[in-house]
Structure 1
Amino acid sequence: MRRGGRQPPPTLIPVRDSKTPDDPCLTFEPTTWGSFVAALRDEGLGTPVPSRAAASS
């Protein structure tokens, strides 16, 4: 790890299933992972999530 300054961007983003941590991880290019995260943030998974107010009623 470099001291001071910024680290270079990662070449691959590793993603592991927390339920099976010993299994291999999937790797994604940063632009692909960023697009996935942006789509989740902007569009969701297509399944409505009940609001907390509706869930507690």
Structure 2
Amino acid sequence: MKTQKTTIRDFLFGENSREKVDAWLPRWMKFPAESYTTRGGFRTADQWARVQPLFMAE
């Protein structure tokens, strides 16, 4: 875990011969959220699609 944190920090700040990456976010933090795999979507988005009509009903 310590090595992973160091690698991510290096990319964010452009240190230790790593190319700096600006405005990076994990896919799950973006809006709308994205999945890392092709196995069937993003679970939270799928659940929202199912309950959204309940919030839109009058």
TM-score normalised by length of structure 1: 0.26
Structure (1 or 2) with the greater helix fraction: 2
